[in-house]
Amino acid sequence: MKKAENIIVGISIGDLNGIGSEVILKTFEDTRMLELCTPVIFANVKIVSFIKRNLNSEVALHGIDRIDQLIKGKINVLNVWREGVDINFGQNDETVGKYAIKSFMAATAALKDGLVDVLVTAPINKYNIQSDEFKFPGHTDYLDKELSGDALMFMVQDNLRVGLLTDHVPVNDVAKHLTEKLITQKIETINLSLKQDFKINKPKIAVLGLNPHAGDSGIIGNEEETVIKPTIKKLFEKGIFVFGPYPADGFFGSGQYEKFDVVIASYHDQGLIPFKTLSFGLGVNYTAGLNKIRTSPDHGTAYEIAGKGVADFGSFKEAVYLALDIFHARNEYVELTKDPLKTKEKK
């Protein structure tokens, strides 16, 4: 098993005009972080140095051209490109978007090839990244394709965990996406993730209804009666401890979520509004269901404060911590499942 400082954390730089670079640099200004891992920022060392000077940061950067040149315990910047890029903090710029994707694709390739152990992605702008080379709504869809998984957006802050049945889907299309196949796939993915990534042997899973009052027995929509309930019943009979569907409106406010290891929402805002309200800026977006580990902060580019040195780096730092925790948990899970006797002892 790898020693802490030998765990290589690949970091995609995100939108250079946003706060991504700032939260990365602030995270690693604390040199104790370098005792936990070795970061590799996929970008260009001259550009990261420019941003560092703009922010009056004192972190020491080590530029490299190949991963095998990295120095453990240093902040390595891998030169993904050589040319200069005009940085205009707070501006939506298609050229900057292309470099965000260059960084992300290079970091993903390194993750796929085992050159980095985990990936932490800084925020991108979904509007300026589109091109003939990259036609995905965001990070998750591309990772799902490259890492052959059943990607699921999984928001985490300590024991508060929220998974999504659908993520970047227009609200008027959500109902048609909620099929037995999709619900089964997502719940099985989250159940396995809780076991291998969070060391929870018998996860308790709550599912929220799609409609107000979870449909009120079919009075306010029938998706709960026709699809969600029957699927939950089949999964429960297979040995997965899944319950619901519960009315979404009072589930978090009443504290009912605390009785479960994860809450699964039907659509994006149903899950993320209460999550972000309760996580106090320390939430992490984890992509469950992949054969590799990827996390990110739960915020966007925040153009309005970019370059001002005032960005809160708490969520990004937590994203690094969670990636490392899951890396250790997965290694432990593999060892335990190799040896059934150890598994029994663990229980």
What pLDDT, in 10s, does the model give residues 193-250? Answer: 999 999 999 999 999 999 999 888 888 889 999 999 999 999 999 999 999 999 999 9
Task: Answer yes or no: is 326 within a domain.
Answer: no
Low-confidence residues of the chain, pLDDT below 50?
Answer: 343-347
Residues 207, 265: one domain?
yes
Domain that holds residue 65: 1-149
What are residue 191's DSSP bridge partners?
Answer: none
The token duo for 109 is 């390739």
Residues 134, 179: one domain?
no
The token duo for 319 is 């994203």
φ, ψ dihedrals at 299, nearest 5°: -120, 175
Give me the pLDDT at residue 126, please: 84
Residues 163, 191: one domain?
yes
Residues 126, 6: one domain?
yes
Task: Answer yes or no: is 75 within a domain.
Answer: yes
Question: How far apart are alpha carbons 328 and 319 in whole angstroms?
Answer: 14
Cα angle: 317, vertex 200, 185; to 5 degrees: 90
Question: How far apart are alpha carbons 327 and 310 in whole angstroms?
Answer: 31
How many domains does the chain divide into? 2
Residues 53, 7: one domain?
yes
Which of 120, 149, 178 is a domain's end point? 149
Residues 75, 189: one domain?
no
Question: How far apart are alpha carbons 313 and 302 in whole angstroms?
Answer: 12
Residues 162, 195: one domain?
yes
Which of 126, 149, 172 is a domain's end point? 149
Answering whether pTM is above 0.75, one says: yes
Please list, in sequence order, all residues whose beta carbon lies within 8 angstroms of the beta carbon of residue 54, skipping any fewer than 6 positions away.
Answer: 89, 307
Q: What is the CA 196 to chain-centroid distance, rounded?
A: 16
Residues 118, 254: one domain?
no
Task: Answer yes or no: is 136 within a domain.
Answer: yes
Task: Answer yes or no: is 319 within a domain.
Answer: no
Task: Answer yes or no: is 301 within a domain.
Answer: no
Q: What CATH number does the domain containing 246 carry? A: 3.40.718.10
* pLDDT, tens digit, 9 for 90 and up, residues 292-333: 999 999 999 999 999 999 999 999 999 999 999 999 999 999
Which of 289, 314, 330 is a domain's end point? 289
Please list, in sequence order, all residues whose beta carbon lies within 8 angstroms of the beta carbon of residue 237, skipping any fewer than 6 positions away.
Answer: none
Residues 266, 177: one domain?
yes
